[in-house]
Amino acid sequence: MTTSVKIENVTKQFGDIIAVDSISMEIPDGEFFSLLGPSGCGKTTTLRMIAGFEQPTYGELYIMDKPVAGVPAFRRPVNTVFQNYALFPHMTVEQNVAFGLQMSKVPKADIATRVAAALRRVQMEGFAERKPEQLSGGQKQRIALARALVNRPKVLLLDEPLGALDLKLRKAMQLELKQIQSDVGITFIYVTHDQEEALTMSDRIAVMNNGHIAQVGKAQEIYEHPANRFVADFIGETNFINGTVIESAEYTTLESNGVLFGGVARTQLSNGTSATVAIRPEKIWLYPADGDVPLNQRVALDGTITEVIYIGTDTRYQVALKTGDTLIVRVQNLGSEDVMAFKTGDSVNVQFSADNAQVLTE
Ligand code: ATP
């Protein structure tokens, strides 16, 4: 399979600031790949280096297997879609979309056909004569997308393209973008700080933190098996129980504040290592502490309910564990009485399966 973009030990420094710190990754042709991370983690800088707007301080970049060091932005087989649309205000929609083709001297008849096809692709065929100021935000972003796609780039770079849209439109456009990408079949590299957006659209996601890549994987991999505490915390909601490894055999036993808890997933950690158990709120069972507590090879811990919030789809319980940690537990509203089974002050037994818990050391 062709690699559309390969990044090899790339670092970017702006004076004393290391914006991107020796990152490497390979993005196969046709993939929807997202760079996800908090503000300032280096996503945009990475995208701008691929586009050719910035040069790496160290390292090599390849597009379609060719090194691109020294190749100016306009000669790279890539196009960028920006959050602020960057449409030419004095030109009509049609002229905006045609601009790149005119610059590369495509014959006039071909331009008309390709512009019409690009506008159809983004469902804006009736808007050719309008000026950008006569369009809504979502419509402007569709035109920006058509203007990039019409050039048939090998790689489309998208820098928070839906950031300025309201939530409902953003969600609708996420699905449309995913559909367009799968129809045109080119590589999309998508920058976002919105984890749900990345999970919804991407084939694979690189989670970035502080100029580094914290983990690369499919949505399900990074959600179910976060490689470290940063990823576990950034992607979705996670509970952490901090402890020390007491025994590591088929399962791991940890100790926290004098409380032993066993049955956590197998690790290779030696005794005495500090470790954190990460468990998602929706993967925890709650039982009354004085009732009949089933124990099917699950991790079990005692605690007290400190908060109950009913949020319709589920109930969100906060539990103070005897380990000293606080857990959030989500009980899905299946329509039974169980959804509000506990109240503040109740003693509970908290359980989760070893398979759903990650033991993390960083
Ligand atoms: P955001 O989501 O806020 O856009 P980001 O992850 O895209 O963040 P970058 O824009 O890549 O982050 O910035 C990474 C770091 O590099 C930040 O600390 C930023 O301040 C710094 N930086 C980016 N561009 C420059 C520049 N031209 N000169 C100096 N520092 C810069």
| pTM given for the model | 0.88
| Residue 5 CA to ligand 1 centre (angstroms) | 21
Mean pLDDT of 339-358: 87
What pLDDT band is residue 266 in, cutting at 50, 70 and 90?
Answer: low
Which residue's CA is minimally distant from atom 2 of ligand 1?
A: 39
| Residue 302 CA to ligand 1 centre (angstroms) | 45
State the Cα–Cα distance between residues 253 and 9, nearest whole angstrom: 38
Q: Which range is least confidently modeled, 135-149, 275-289, 295-309? A: 295-309
Which residue's CA is minimally distant from atom 1 of ligand 1?
A: 39
191-208 pLDDT, tens digit per residue, is: 999 999 999 999 999 999
Task: Indicate whether 185 pLDDT > 70.
Answer: yes
Task: Indicate whether 297 pLDDT > 60.
Answer: no
Q: What is the mean pLDDT of the chain?
A: 90
Q: What is the CA radius of gyration of the chain?
A: 25
Which residue's CA is minimally distant from atom 10 of ligand 1?
A: 44
Order of strands across the sheet that contains 17-28: 17-28, 3-14, 58-63, 66-67
6-46 pLDDT, tens digit per residue, is: 999 999 999 999 999 999 999 999 999 999 999 999 999 99
**Burial code of 54-86, b = ≥16 C-beta within 10 A, e = fewer?**
bebeebebbbbeeebeeeeeeebbbbbbbbebe
Say how many Å lie between the first and final Cα of the chain, rounded: 34
What pLDDT band is residue 187 in, cutting at 50, 70 and 90?
Answer: very high
Helix axis angle, 167-184 to 137-149, nearest 10°: 20
Task: List residues near ligand 1 (CB under 6 A).
Answer: 14, 17, 19, 37, 39-45, 193
